[in-house]
Amino acid sequence: MLSGFINILKPPGLTSHAVVARVRRLLGERRVGHAGTLDPAASGVLVVAVGRATRLIAHLEGSKTYRGEITFGIGTTTLDAEGEITRAVPCSVAAAQLREVLPRFRGTIDQVPPMVSAVHHQGRRLYELARSGVEVERQPRRVHITRLELISFYPDPLHPRALIECTCSAGTYVRALAADIGRALGTEAHLSFLLRTRSGSFALDSSLTLAELEAAVGRGVERTWLCPPESGLGHLAAVTLPEEESERFRHGNAVFHPSSGGPALGQALVVYGPGRSFLGVGRLEHREEALWLQPDVVFPKEC
Q: What is the DSSP string of 106-148?
A: SEEEEEPPPSSSS-EETTEEHHHHHHTT-------EEEEEEEE
187 CB-near residues (< 8 Å, 6+ apart) = 72, 73, 89, 91, 93
Q: Which of 39-43, 77-81, 136-140, 195-199 is predicted most confidently?
A: 195-199
Q: What is the mean pLDDT of residues 54-59?
A: 96
Q: What percent of the chain stands above pLDDT 70? A: 88
pLDDT digits (tens, 9 = 90+) for 3-46: 999 999 999 999 999 999 999 999 999 999 999 999 899 999 99
Residue 122's pLDDT is: 47
244 half-sphere exposure, CB direction, 13 A CA radius:
1
Judged by DSSP in three states, 66 sits in strand
Residue 121's pLDDT is: 42
* Domains of the chain, CATH where assigned: 4-62+201-229 (3.30.2350.10), 64-194 (3.30.2350.10), 236-298 (2.30.130.10)
pTM of the complete model: 0.90
Q: What is the mean pLDDT of residues 248-268?
A: 78
Q: What is the mean pLDDT of residues 214-239?
A: 89
pLDDT at position 56 over 50: yes
283 CB-near residues (< 8 Å, 6+ apart) = 266, 267, 268, 269, 293, 294, 296
pLDDT at position 146 over 80: yes
- 296 in active site: no
Q: DSSP H helical segments within the chain, as ranges?
A: 16-27, 95-101, 126-131, 174-184, 210-219, 243-250
Q: With beta carbons less than 8 A apart as the criterion, state whether 292 and 282 touch.
A: no
Residue 113's pLDDT is: 79
- Give the residue, 259 or 7, on which the prediction is more confident: 7
pLDDT at position 280 over 50: yes
Q: What is the mean pLDDT of residues 226-254?
A: 93
2 confidence band (pLDDT: 50, 70, 90): confident
pLDDT at position 126 over 90: no
Beta bridge partners of 39: none
Average pLDDT over the chain reads: 89
258 confidence band (pLDDT: 50, 70, 90): low
Residue 164's pLDDT is: 98
Angle, CA of 104, 74 and 39, to the nearest 5°? 75
Among the listed residues 39, 110, 180, 296, the single catalytic one is 39
Q: What is the mean pLDDT of residues 194-209?
A: 97
129 confidence band (pLDDT: 50, 70, 90): very low
Q: What percent of the chain stands above pLDDT 90? A: 73
Q: With beta carbons less than 8 A apart as the criterion, state whether 56 and 229 touch.
A: yes
302 confidence band (pLDDT: 50, 70, 90): low
Residue 132's pLDDT is: 52
